[in-house]
Amino acid sequence: MVLPVTGRSSPFAKIPPQPAHSGHEGRKGLTFPLPEAAYLGERQEHQMTRLSVPDMNCGHCKASVEAALTPLGARVSVDLPARQVDVEGIAPEAAIKALDAVGFPATVAG
């Protein structure tokens, strides 16, 4: 039996509209607040920055680092054995602040 998908007869008709996604409300699992530095000014292209993240030592850490940076619009490449992260597309200060917010202090690699 096929039910029509119009009006109130739709099984989805009772689902209220969802607010715009801000980055962390209503998600299950790991959530990462976006640092206010991510909202400052207009979006600019930033050169690649290599960050040292000494506390990153496993696959879960890598996933947490990626999940903290990608919502900010960063392109991320993680070198887990070297404990370094290449970040492009956001200011280094914003990346460092985002990583610090999720428990991974970082510095610009020399």
| 92 φ/ψ angles, rounded to the nearest 5 degrees | -55, -35
- In one-letter notation, the amino acid at residue 82 is A
Give the pLDDT band of residue 11 (cuts 50, 70, 90).
Answer: low
What is the residue extent of each domain of the chain?
Answer: 44-110
The arrangement of secondary structure in 44-110, i.e. its CATH architecture, is 2-Layer Sandwich (3.30)
User: What's the Cα-to-Cα distance from 12 to each of 1, 2, 25, 26, 28, rounded to whole Å?
Assistant: 17, 15, 21, 19, 21
* Helical segments of the chain, H only: 59-69, 92-101
Of residues 2 and 51, which shows the higher confidence score?
A: 51
For 37-94, the pLDDT digits (tens) are: 454 444 456 789 999 999 999 999 999 999 999 999 999 999 999 999 999 999 999 9
